[in-house]
Amino acid sequence: MKEKIIGAIIDELTFRKDFFDSNDKISSIYFGGGTPSVLSIHEIDEIFGVIHKNYKIDDNAELTFECNPDDLDKEYLKELKFVGINRLSIGVQSFNDEHLKWMNRSHNANQSIKCVEHAAQIGFKNITMDLIYGLPHLSDYEWSDSVSQAFNMPINHLSAYSLTMEENTPYIKLVNQGKYEKPNDDISSSHYKILTELSNELGWEHYEVSSFCIPGNYSKHNTSYWRGEKYLGVGPSAHSFDGNSRYWNVSNNKLYLEHIPMREGYFESEELTKTNRVNEYLLTGLRTKWGIDLKVINTDFNYDIMSLFREDIKYWVSLDWMEVHDSNVKLTDKGMLFADYISSTLFKS
């Protein structure tokens, strides 16, 4: 099955080369959204070869490989670096073994530490890790300790996500059965405050709701989403955006393999209306440190949020959730905790 999927991905990469304009250069390539570490170095190199043959790649492109700590031994890390991977996204999640077991993770804290250390020793200078907060049994002290440990490791980027209940996951089933507790908003808020305060103390940039970095070390991959740039996703379940429409490939491997040779039927699409686009601009822009530009909203979408929501905005400013400077509106660290709520309040209906 793996060989067939790789063949189909190569086929899709080849026939979708016209997705980008002739002058477009790729600034980010991301291996993820699954378990790319099942790929051999030869297979990764083969995919890279097809990409370089069919697309223009920027000389300083960010080439990210998503992985778990137990996926990476020294030899595999060396090989990843050899084929051109220059950024690692490591799913650490926690430095507490009990919490890792609770989350059903297959690695332990020591593997996480060793993995990051080995990557740095081999020469990876662009390393990000994921942590999860808001676990019902995770104390403020334990969370503070995990965050401090992360910031003291040889990484330049950190992504932290609050525990959520997703449909059709083992966690939500266990919650419904009364075996696990639901996420607690007060706990999540406390953890988020600890995270932002520690980040500020160390001089890291909190540049998006869930993203922190040593100044200037933004993720090109994620930033392209928030800025509404065009991107192409390849493979089962992959999503794409061309500036006007969104596309998403079927998630079923069998259907993907059946339809790729016909070059149709393997994806669905949706053309965004002007209302969709302004709402996405609000949603993504307010998640970042750069915020939104009122001139863009007024000129491109004929939508005046300062007039329509003047009292709401004044209230959020009074709470120190929001800042308004000329045509720029952005959220503070406090406000970012409520980014989705605030942006949804401003949505155009």
Distance CA 297, CA 103 (A): 41
Distance CA 273, CA 279 (A): 10
In this structure, what CATH number is given to the domain that contains residue 312? Answer: 1.10.10.920
Contact 268, 290 (CB under 8 A): no
Backbone angles phi, psi at 293, to 5 degrees: -110, 115
Helix axes 2-15, 41-54, angle to 10 degrees: 10
Contact 12, 5 (CB under 8 A): no
- One-character DSSP codes across 85-134: --EEEEEEE-S-HHHHHHTT-S--HHHHHHHHHHHHHHT---EEEEEEE-
Residue 236 maps to a domain: no
Residue 180 tokens read as: 């696990």
* Mean pLDDT of the residues in the chain: 92
Range of the domain at 303: 274-345
- At residue 37, the pLDDT reads 82
- At residue 289, the pLDDT reads 95
Pair (310, 184) in one structural domain: no
Query: Count of domains in the chain?
Result: 2
Pair (78, 135) in one structural domain: yes
Pair (104, 191) in one structural domain: yes
* Max CA pair span of the chain: 59
Contact 69, 129 (CB under 8 A): no
Q: Is the pLDDT of residue 130 over 80?
A: yes
Distance CA 264, CA 238 (A): 15
Of 226, 260, 290, the residue that ends a domain is 226
Residue 109 maps to a domain: yes
Residue 1 maps to a domain: no
Dihedral-angle region of residue 75 (phi above 0 means left; psi in -120 to 50 means alpha; beta otherwise): alpha
- At residue 144, the pLDDT reads 95
Distance CA 257, CA 4 (A): 7
> Nearest-5° angle of CA 230, CA 235, CA 236?
115
Comparing 100-109, 160-169, 209-218, 325-334, the range with the smallest average pLDDT is 160-169
Residue 129 maps to a domain: yes
Pair (219, 287) in one structural domain: no
Contact 156, 217 (CB under 8 A): yes
**Position 201 confidence tier, pLDDT thresholds 50, 70, 90:** very high
Which comes out higher in pLDDT, residue 228 or 19?
A: 19
Taking CA atoms, 203 is separated from 215, 325, 326, in Å, by: 8, 23, 26
Pair (155, 290) in one structural domain: no
Distance CA 148, CA 106 (A): 23
Q: What is the pLDDT of residues 281-323, one digit of tens each?
A: 999 999 999 999 999 999 999 999 999 999 999 999 999 999 9
Q: What is the pLDDT of residues 164-187, one digit of tens each?
A: 755 655 555 555 655 556 667 899
Residue 140 maps to a domain: yes
